[in-house]
Structure 1
Amino acid sequence: MSTHTTMQDQPAFSRRMSVLDGLLSEVGRAVQVLDGSVHAGRPNPAGKHRIPAGQAAARPELTAAEQKHAAGLMRVNHVGEICAQALYRGQALFCGDAAIEKVFVKAANEEVDHLVWCRQRLVELDSRPSLLNPLWYAGSFSLGMLASRAGTARNLGFMAETERQVEEHLDEHLKDLPLVDERSRAIVAQMRDDEIGHRTTAERSGASKLGPIVRLAMRGMSKIMTVTAYRI
């Protein structure tokens, strides 16, 4: 009887270990994202040659005020990519559909490119990432896990709406960045194109449209993040 009970309990134990392994793996990934040790899979659209830290201020095309403003906007974009990375990995962890999990993982991997490009540009602008990045990551990952429990269609719908709002946000940055800051603009333009691709993929995979209250709440949270990340 003891042997029978052990064999019966083994699948549940294996599932618990699998979930624990997944969570531990995500903790390791979070550390890599936050300490900047992740690597981009694609070349930086701003060009192969980066400007050493501290030299951006000496570039005549950017005034001190323009450089500070561009750094603030790119810090906001970097935080956005921190959130996207955490969100999609949280959504993938418990989605329960192998094909849809691949959609989230692929999007998360492309967001790593954005993350690295934004961080590189911040260095060029003699600036830094947000000091609140661990908080942004933890909150977004938790939100992603909650979304993953809402069903495949709503899970994808959350992704589609996130990307729709990010597209609008990046379009605004392209208008707001100094015209002479071609390097930041090249990065933001490629990011926007990728986000459009993510939204389209989510919609084609069966995303359902979120309700107006949820969409409004997402906009409110995004506003808090952008205002805070610009300065801190």
Structure 2
Amino acid sequence: MTLLDRFIIEFDTALRSVVGGANAHRSTPGSDLNFDASLELAEREHAAGLMRVNHVGEVCAQALYQSQKIFARKSEIQEMLHRSGQEEMDHLAWCETRLKELGSHTSYLNPFWYAGSFAIGMAAGLAGDRWSLGFVAETEKQVEQHLESHLAKLPENDHRSRAIVNQMRLDEIEHGQAALHAGGVSLPNPIQRVMKLMSKVMTASAYKI
């Protein structure tokens, strides 16, 4: 592909991440399960808030993978980031689909989340492949923990959301392991704490807005 072709593809990915319309390569987990007639209004709103948070996480993931891929030194690392990014696009589409089923919306702050994450990904990429991959591994570890907490918070009878979140969790584990095997290093504790603090701010905001 030419440089223009790659730019168009990456711009399309960014646009779909921010405004919606993401395409999944895999079918939505739980799509074969019964619909949500048993969910009460409060349960629907709570599930929608949690799935909106998950959707914002995937918007951030797209920005991070895109920016880190730009500055990756080795072609094999670029390819690894590309593969993981494609699976994250599945997550983005699944969450968007689920929010529509629940009668809700994605976060109105998505442009802000995307821009901020892209800048962070650029900084990680410029630090070098080992640090960039370490950032991926730590991000995926925190996302895994975050998704596990959502499995405990989602309504017991919201089987569709649970199926999506569980598959996302399994994929995030694989992405983190792939980053470590590719040479990622453990990030210093202060950076890990800052990442957790930023995640809390994002979670609290995206649940409602």
Structure-1-length-normalised TM-score: 0.85
Could you say what secondary structure the match of 1:206 adopts?
coil
1:38 positional shift: 2.4
- Given that residues 164 and 199 in structure 1 are in contact (C-alpha distance below 8 angstroms), is that contact kept between their aligned partners in structure 2? yes
Aligned length: 208
Cα deviation per residue 1:141-192 (whole Å; 9 max; x = unaligned)? 1111111111111110000000000000000000000000000000000000
2:42 aligned partner: 65
Whether 2:142 is the aligned partner of 1:165: answer yes
Partner of 1:130: 107
Q: Which moved more, 1:113-122 or 1:39-48?
A: 39-48
Q: Secondary structure at the match of 2:185?
A: coil
Q: Which amino acid aligns with 2:192?
A: R
Q: Deviations over 1:39-75 (max 9, x none)?
A: 1000111115896xxxx5xx1x211111110000000
Partner of 1:110: 87
Whole-angstrom distance in 2 between the partners of 1:119 and 1:88: 19
Q: Between Structure 1 and Structure 2, whose CA radius of gyration is higher?
A: 1
Aligned residue among 45, 48, 51 for 1:74: 51
The partner residue of 2:186 within 209, 223, 229 is 209
1:209 deviates by 0.2
Structure-to-structure mapping, 1:147-186, within 5 angstroms: 147-186=124-163
Aligned residue in 2 for 1:145: 122
2:55 is paired with a residue of what secondary structure? helix
Matched, 1:26 2:3: no
Tell me the residue number matched to 1:45: 29
Which secondary structure does the structure 2 equivalent of 1:37 belong to?
Answer: coil
Instruction: Determine what percentage of the aligned residue pairs are the same residue.
Output: 49
In 2: Cα distance, 1:23 partner to 1:230 partner? 32
Note the residue ranges of structure 1 that are not aligned, 5 or more in a row: 1-16
What is the distance in 2 between the residues matched to 1:76 and 1:160? 20
Alignment partner, residue 3 of structure 1: none
Instruction: Give unmatched runs, 5+ long, in structure 2.
Output: none
Given that 1:167 and 1:195 are in contact with CA atoms closer than 8 Å, whether structure 2 keeps it comes out as yes
Higher relative contact order (CA 8 A, sep 6+): 2
- Seen in structure 2, the aligned counterparts of structure 1 residues 66 and 49 have a Cα distance that, compared at 3 Å, is closer
Q: Which amino acid aligns with 1:28?
A: D
Give the alignment's TM-score, normalised by structure 2.
0.94
Work out whether residues 33 and 159 of structure 2, in 8 Å CA contact, stay in contact via their aligned partners in 1: no
